[in-house]
Structures are given as structure tokens and as C-alpha cells.
Chains A and B, each alone.
Chain A
Amino acid sequence: MTTPVECPSCKAPLAEPLLNQPELVPCPSCRGLIHADVFPAIHRELATGSSGEALVIETEAGCFYHPQKKAVTPCDGCGRFLCALCDCELHGEHFCPTCLETGRKKGKIKRLEQERTLYDSIALALAVYPLLIFYFTVVTAPISLILAIRFWNAPRSIVHRTKIRFVVAIILSSLQLIGWGVGIYFLTTHWKSHG
């Protein structure tokens, strides 16, 4: 049975004539103007899982994880034979649970990637924000420089992003370090000449 589509504002179920209308229509409950596009997937039943079929003939290949069950497909990651229970289908590709977990953790399966750290933004923030209180830059400038160099080839945002943040961070933190170096040099020479 299909769960009815609800109004985002009052959560009232929307009747069939209100769906897929070209114009905004008033919600029968809250009178707010709504637009609802409903797609054929709403009528699709969720695929039920399978526990796998038991091996009957010896010549049939068994599952790597459940040797007593029939293999239905090889894993696209490691090539191991999988039964219907172990077969995890991901947009046409078949993976075993181990490959799926490894792929998710190591970012090998891009579709499963859920999070990225933006090292370029961190390096840039460390190079820019401490300028407000300049004394902090003696610590933050080297950290920013190290981060920018260490993670130069690390994946940045999943959407298109250049290395400009890294470049600016390197330039700014280098200038700060040079400034500190020059400052310390002049202070020591000035102190020696007056000492």
C-alpha cells in the first residue's frame, strides 16, 4: 500500500487530483499553495531480500561466506562467489559486504562516499583568521603551510574546486613566516648593537 503524499506545511495527506498539477494548488487543509510532483516509483514495491538457495548438486559453486548456499554472482570487488543473501547490489554492480564496507571506508566506491574534510579551507582559515591577532601566526602559519603541502593531492570538495585555497594559504603563511624571521633577525641585531 502506498503512503499518501503529505503537505509540507500541515502534513495533511494530499488527494490524487492535487498531484502533478502544472500550477500551484491550495492545500485542502491549510490553504497554503502547494505543488506536488509524484513519480512512478511511488507505486513500486520494495524488493524483498532473499536468504539464498541451498546447494543441491556438488558441481554448483557455493557462496564464499555460506558454503552451503548456491552462488548467484561473483563480487565485482574481490571476485568471490556470493549467494543471494550476501549479494549487495549497488546500481548494477554486485559487492560482498566486506568489499562494500571497505569501499565505503576507504572511499574506493565513490557512490558510497558520505563525507570529506576540506583541508584547503582549513589551511586557508589558519592562514587568514589569526591575522586579526598577529601573535597567533607564529603557531598557525607553520601549521597552515604543513597542511597545504601534506594534503596538496588530497581530494577536495566533490563538486568542482580548484587548488586556489591551498595556493593562497601557502603564500600567506610563507609571508607570515618570513615576517617573523625578519622581525626576529632585526630584534636580535638591534639588541646586540645596543647591548
Chain B
Amino acid sequence: MAEREYRRLTGSKNRSLFSVAFSARTSLWLGKDHILQIDTSGYSEIYKRFYFRDVQALVFCRTDRWLYQGVGLLGAACFFALIAVTGGGPVVAGIFGTVAGVFGFFLLFHLLLGPSCKCYLRTAVQIEPLISMSRSRRALKVLQTLRPLILAAQETARPGPGPTPEAPPVISTPPPPTSSLPPEASDEPTNQPA
């Protein structure tokens, strides 16, 4: 079986609250020499690649969003549980108890995911927010995975990419008997401008 080119780093996450309606989601994947961020609308994907040798910093900050969300879920669960208890008949109790149970399940799941965070990746030319890294526990794990890879890539990339502009290698061709064209170009006339 062929080895997969990309390994998932984070799950899909909505880009914003309103993007739920348009299913715009973003996720992070680990490639051989880069991190791939995929923004998908469900019917198309947009890719952003961050090469290990270009990553300058990965920073995340814990936020309070998970507390507010937890309180909201707890409030909803308590509200429906209260209706179920005080509502009267067994049908009402069953329906609202189930709804309260669903909210309770979401709350438990939410608490298990841990505190929320805001993360960004910095290169020489951009600062990219990593929306899909929204939980600090997951973010720490991802950073632990990425750190050695990035350090290894930047060790091998020293002193710096690209040709050195001071002394570029010059292609010299032996003097041809009749034409100044290089031998490779002589059988391909399009290699010289008209």
C-alpha cells in the first residue's frame, strides 16, 4: 500500500461562526517538508504550504472562550433538565430530558477537549493564524511533533536558501566552430529570442 503523502495534524474547524452555514472549514496536515493548511468549502479546497525551513515562530495563547462556551452548554443543559423535571407528564420529561442529555454530552466532550487557544505561525513574509489549532492540549502536541522537524530542516538549510547573488555560477560554453549558440540550443532553435 502506498504511503500517504500527508498526515493529519488537527481536525477540521470552522473558520468563523458564520461559516457554519457555508461549511467553510480549515485543517492542518503534515507533509514531508512542509505544513499544509487546507481551507475547504466542501466543493473546493485552497491550499497553503508552510515549509519547515521558512517557519520562524509558532506561538499560541490560551483563551477564555472555552469557559464561556462551557457555561453556555451547562446553562442549556440545566434549563432543559429543569423543564423535564417540572414539566409534568412523562412525555415532556422524556423529550426535554433527552435534549438536556444531548447538551450534557456536548458539555462533557467540550471539557474533555480542554482549554481553548489562539495560535499563529510566522514566516519572513506572513503571520498566518492557525484556526484549526483551537485547543491548547492539541496545540502543544502538534508543536512537539513539528519542533524537531523544523529544527532539522533549518539545520540543513544553513546558511540560507537561494543562489548567492555575489558570485553566481556562470555557464561557459566552448567556442563553437561556426555559431555562438550552445550545443544544447543548436538543435532547438526556440532557445534564442526571435
Interface residues of A (CB under 8 A from B): 5-9, 14, 19, 24, 27, 32-42, 44-50, 53, 58-61, 64-65, 67, 70-74, 79-81, 84, 87, 89, 91, 111, 113-118, 121-122, 125, 157-160
With A45-B160, A84-B163, A89-B161 in contact, do A115 and B47 touch (Cβ < 8 Å)?
A: yes
Q: B124 and A41: CB pair below 8 A?
A: yes
Residues from chain A with a CB closer than 8 A to the CB of B178 are none
Q: B60 and A60: CB pair below 8 A?
A: no
Told that A41-B157, A87-B163, A118-B43 touch, could you supply 19 new A-B pairs with CB distance under 8 A? Answer: A6-B59, A8-B60, A24-B136, A35-B61, A40-B151, A41-B54, A41-B55, A41-B124, A47-B162, A53-B168, A58-B180, A59-B174, A60-B172, A74-B171, A79-B188, A81-B171, A118-B40, A118-B44, A158-B38
Q: B44 and A8: CB pair below 8 A?
A: no
Q: A115 and B172: CB pair below 8 A?
A: no
In whole Å, how far is A108's beta carbon from the nearest beta carbon of chain B? 16
Residues from chain B with a CB closer than 8 A to the CB of A7 are 59, 61
Nearest chain A residue, comparing its CB with the CB of B47: A114
State the majority secondary structure of interface residues on B.
Answer: mixed
In whole Å, how far is A120's beta carbon from the nearest beta carbon of chain B? 10
Asked if B192 CB lies within 8 Å of chain A CBs, one says: yes
With A5-B122, A44-B160 in contact, do A125 and B43 touch (Cβ < 8 Å)?
A: yes
Instruction: Name the contact of B36 in the complex, choosing from A58, A59, A67, A158 (C-beta under 8 A).
Output: A158
| Tally of B interface residues using CB under 8 Å | 68
Nearest chain A residue, comparing its CB with the CB of B6: A159
Q: B55 and A73: CB pair below 8 A?
A: no
Residues from chain B with a CB closer than 8 A to the CB of A37 are 57-59, 143, 147
| Most chain B CB atoms below 10 A, which of A41, A116, A157 | A41
With A39-B154, A64-B191, A87-B163 in contact, do A158 and B45 touch (Cβ < 8 Å)?
A: yes
